[in-house]
Each structure stands twice: as structure tokens, then as C-alpha cells.
Structure 1
Amino acid sequence: MLCCCLLLTACTVTVDEPEVTPEEYEKSLDTTNIPMPIDDALYVEQPKKESIIEKLSDIFQLDWLNRKEIDAQDIQYIALGDSLTDGVGDEYTRQGYTERLVERLEKWPAVASITLDNRGKRGRRSEQLLQLLEKGHYDKELAVANLVTITMGGNDVMKIVKSDIFSLKKEMFDQERANFKNNYEQIITQIRARNAEVPLILIGFYNPFSIVVDETTPFEEIIVEWNNDIMELALQDEQACFVPVMDLFHTNENLVYHTDFFHPNAKGYERMTERIVTAMEACNIEAMTDGLIGFEE
């Protein structure tokens, strides 16, 4: 039997390896791009970090970009009264102090928007406004109002002046003053019957004759007394605030009168608005409305 034996002898095979640079070697050790197995039981998603705006909005309950509270409310504002509320003399036709007051109020973070319902009418007297209220003209508006302003008194005085301008006596004004105070008190009563909590901003009036008559007249004393009656009514109501404006129109040095020298011009209404804001802050309107109404500092 022929046997073939294959004898394998040890041999060495040499393979030429390419040279590797140190940089390439270090790169070969980088395992960051190698996908690693994920243990679902151990994997926890990291929470998304809040931005500073989101954090502040959550803390202060503000829409921080718009400077509004998240639950900011719409304000219903009804303005009652005479030509001062109507805005007669305002060359910019911004309804006198009313639109300017809205502009200031809308900066407050708790206020989303303000709907202005201006019911002022030139020549209106206290007994006329009272009759409208008694007939229910503003029942729905007052029931939902968040703010009410009133200007009244100037036309009550002018009614006496027009009746007998050449024979005016203070007693005539004193008699009408009692009627005016009673009318104004009933106006407040009518409003309160429809809305017990709405803030009432009772704005005084001024002596328009102070810049056209050089000599001393009894009008200054008369206007002061009538304004004091309005202030007294405001003090009797915890949700009311009196705004004196007589000193703003004592002279025309600041050019606050319209060309009729009777009504304010735009600058005069600007000054009225500033005085209203100051008075409302002094009355603590923010506390009066539980933070709903205020003024941005």
C-alpha cells in the first residue's frame, strides 16, 4: 500500500501593513459614533429646560412678552355727564379725557382691553341725567360696568346765569345748589341700584369766567361750594372718588382753553386726565377693584 505523507513545514508569511499616523490612531479609538445599546428600563428622558421668560411667566402669572396677566379681563367703562365728558373743545377729537384715560388704564397688566361707552352730552344738567337713569336708559351698561366717570354741574350753574345775567344774586345759586346736590345724590343712588360695587369717579368742574372777567366775582366761591358738595357725596360712598380740577383752569397761562374760552382744549384734557389718574391712585383704585384697575408705574 502506497502511503503519501505530506510534510508541512513551518513557514513565516510577512504582510506589509500601511503606516498609521498618530492622529489616525487616536481617531480609531473614538467610540462616540458607535451606537450603544439602550436599556429601556434604565433610560429616562431629560426634562426640557424652561426659558427665563417661561419661568417668569409661570411665577408672576404674566404673558411676559405682552406684559399682561394670563387671566387679564376686559373692562367695561361708561362715561356719564356733560360737555367735559363729551370732549367738546378737543381738537384731536379723542373724546376729551375719556380716551386718554383708557390709554392709561390699558397699560395695567390685569386689563386685557377696555370698551368705552361715552354718554356725555353738551349742555346736560343734573336733573336731565337723573331722568335718563330713572327711565332705565343705561341699565344694561351700568350692570356690567367696571368703571363709571361723571362730570356734572357746569350747566346747572349756567342755567342760572342765562336766566337773568344782569340781576344775579348769590341766593339764586344757593337755592339751585340744594337742587343740584339732591339730584347728584339721586344719580348715585340710581347707579348703585344697578351696580353696587362699580367705582364712581366724580369729577369736579371749574369757573370758566375766571379768564374773561378781571374783577372779583362771586363765581369762585360758588364753584368751590358746589364742588365741595360733590366731594362730600364721594366721601359717603366707599367706592367713589372725587377729582378736583378747578385749579387747572383758573388761568390760561398754560393754554388749556379751547378758542371758545369755555371748554378745555387737548392740552386741558391732558391735564384733566393726569389729575384723574392722580386722584384714582390716591383713592387706592387698585385695592378698590381687587387689582383689576390700576396704573403702570
Structure 2
Amino acid sequence: MRLNKKRALITISATVVGIGIVGLAYYKYMNNKETVKPQLKLVALGDSLTEGMGDSTKQGGYTQRLAKLINNKLVVPTKVLNYGNSGDRSDQINQHLTNSTQQQIAIKKADAIIMTVGGDDLIQKIGGSVLDRSAKELTQAIKASEPEYTAKLTKLMQSIRRYNKTAPIFVFGNYNPLYVYFANLQSINTSVIAYNNINKKIVKKYHGYYVSTFKQLTFGQYQSALAKQKLLQEANASSVEGVVKTLHENKITDEKNAYIAKSDHFHPNSKGYNYMTKKLYATMIKHKATWLYEK
């Protein structure tokens, strides 16, 4: 009889302890439960890729696509203020921010900041001579320009952080839209990758995240080794001057890369912007604690 009472007391004690542990866990859960913000405010800075050039569907490039995707996936009303301006280099993006009270206020209120940068800085350095220089000359020129671009991008990041110290910054990498026509000019890819590495390094330093689109937008549908080899053979068999002239005079009515706009053979088309949006959203979701929840 005494043994049964002892067992009963042990069972009751264990039950009480168990209830206490569950209760404590529930209490902690309820008090640490993250609350999704009722509305999201995103700000996009950058060049023509942020402006949405090449998007024949008139959806505003990746910015409006992102707002719709977040709204649909997370059921959170999302507004994106787009300050993208075609042709802007990193220093010009910074100048616009420094001179615009409107942009400064938007940055202050932003839950996240998104940016495309570096493409026009690179174009300025290699310009129309990219196809005239040897691989060695081009590589040396880009290498020499890296400290200057690093300084300009750093200054831009500092300006953003002056107005908003906590919102995550998501920076896209760039791509080579000419690859499908000049697969034999590997130096162009090398140059783009060099600037992308700077984007990756600097955004991390300022508590942000890098979004890579190089592989898909550069190689398009030609992802296999066999497909790339075919492009290389075609490029070797073609006259560089002839292809350049044809592209410049817009005599090619289609585009070899399924992700690039046939209107200019440079900017993403609708499919390209869909891909950019998908990659950006995936990166943002991985770091959702930095922008989605109430603090």
C-alpha cells in the first residue's frame, strides 16, 4: 500500500514538472513570437536595371514584381519606391541621394533597400574599346580601376547608412549581355566578375547581402558545356567587327539569349526580370528576420 502511494506521488510530481516545462515553453513562445509588419516599405536605388529598361511588359522591372510576390506569398501589403535612373554610375547614384531630400526620407523609412550598381561604372572603364583591347590589356585596365570603384561604392554605402543604420541592403551583381555573341572574349566575363566581387565584399561590410544573377543572365539558356562550346565555335567563325556592326545597327531582330531584351540586346527582358525577382526574393527570405518583423 505504501509502495503504491509512493508511486502515485512520483507520478503526480512528474506530471506537475512536465506541465511546468510545457507551460514555460509556451510562455516563452508567446512572448518571443515574431509579429509581421502590417506594411512593408522598400526603396530601390540604381541604374537602368532598377529603372526597368528592357521590360516589354511594362511591369517596372524587378521592383513591382517583387512587391507583388511579397504580397502574394506573405500576404503583406508592400510598396516599393523606385529611384533607378538609366546610366547612373555608383557616384551618380550617391549624388542623387545626397541632393534629394525625398530619397533621404524614403531611405530613413525603408524596411529594406535594394540596389543595382556597377554596370555603368564598368562600361565607363571599358567603353567601346572592349572589343579592340587584348585580354591582357582589358584585365590590366579593370584591375587598375578596382580601387576607384571600391571607394565610390563604399561612399555610396556610407551615405545610405547615414540615413538608415539598420535596414538590410540587397545588392545585385551584374552580368555579361554580350557573351552569347562573343563567347571567345572571356576577358569580358572576367571584368564583370571582378566588379561583382567588389559588390559582394562591400555590401557585406555594410551589413547587407549580395544577389548573384551572373550565371543565368550571362549564359541564358546555354548552360551546358556542349551549348557553350557551340557558342564558342560560332564566335570564332564570326567577324567581331561584323557582329558589332549588326548589333549596333539593330539588324538582329531577335536575341540569342532568352533572358535579354531583343530591343537592345543588353537589358533583361520580362523573363530576365522574373529571374532577378526570384533570386532577390529567395535571398530576402533567407534573411527575413532583418526586414519582415516588428522589432
Tell me which of 275, 278, 281 is aligned to 1:271: 275
Bigger Rg, which one: 1
Q: Give the TM-score normalised by the residue count of structure 2.
A: 0.69
CA contact (8 A) 2:36 2:293 kept: no
SS at match of 1:268: helix
4+ residue segments displaced more than 4 Å: 69-72
CA contact (8 A) 1:110 1:292 kept: no
Tell me which of 212, 216, 222 is aligned to 1:248: 216
Instruction: Return closer, same or farther for 1:146/1:155 CA change in 2, 3 Å cut-off.
Output: same
Tell me which of 100, 111, 114 is aligned to 1:146: 111
What is the number of equivalent residue pairs in this alignment? 223
* Alignment-mate amino acid for residue 65 of structure 2: R
> Which residue does 1:96 correspond to in 2?
61
- Distance in 2 between residues matched to 1:227 and 1:80, nearest whole Å: 17
How big is each residue's C-alpha offset from its partner over 1:231-271, in whole Å with a ceiling of 9 and x where there is no partner?
Answer: 11222233x11100101112232711100221110011101
> Which residue does 1:87 correspond to in 2?
52
Is 1:202 aligned with 2:171? Answer: yes
- Identity among equivalent pairs (%): 24
Deviation at 1:146, TM superposition (A): 1.2
> Which residue does 1:229 correspond to in 2?
198
Instruction: Return closer, same or farther for 1:115/1:177 CA change in 2, 3 Å cut-off.
Output: same
Which aligned pairs between 1:127-138 and structure 2 lie closer than 5 A? 127-137=91-101, 138=103
**5+ residue gaps, structure 2:** 1-29, 222-256
Deviation at 1:71, TM superposition (A): 7.7
- Distance in 1 between residues matched to 2:284 and 2:291, nearest whole Å: 11
Q: More helix per residue: 1 or 2? A: 2
* Alignment-mate amino acid for residue 168 of structure 2: P
* Alignment-mate amino acid for residue 289 of structure 2: A
CA contact (8 A) 1:72 1:110 kept: no
Which aligned pairs between 1:6-17 and structure 2 lie closer than 5 A? none
Tell me which of 165, 177, 188 is aligned to 2:146: 177
> Which residue does 1:119 correspond to in 2?
83
Is 1:258 aligned with 2:261? Answer: yes
> Which residue does 2:248 correspond to in 1?
none
SS at match of 1:84: helix
CA RMSD of aligned residues (A): 2.5
Instruction: Return closer, same or farther for 1:82/1:290 CA change in 2, 3 Å cut-off.
Output: closer
Deviation at 1:289, TM superposition (A): 2.7
Deviation at 1:139, TM superposition (A): 1.2
- Distance in 1 between residues matched to 2:72 and 2:191, nearest whole Å: 38
Instruction: Return closer, same or farther for 1:160/1:185 CA change in 2, 3 Å cut-off.
Output: same
SS at match of 1:174: helix
- Distance in 2 between residues matched to 1:255 and 1:149, nearest whole Å: 25
* Alignment-mate amino acid for residue 219 of structure 2: T
How big is each residue's C-alpha offset from its partner over 1:200-234, in whole Å with a ceiling of 9 and x where there is no partner?
Answer: 11111111221121313311111112111111122
SS at match of 1:119: strand
- Distance in 1 between residues matched to 2:178 and 2:36, nearest whole Å: 48
**5+ residue gaps, structure 1:** 1-59, 61-68
CA contact (8 A) 2:41 2:80 kept: yes
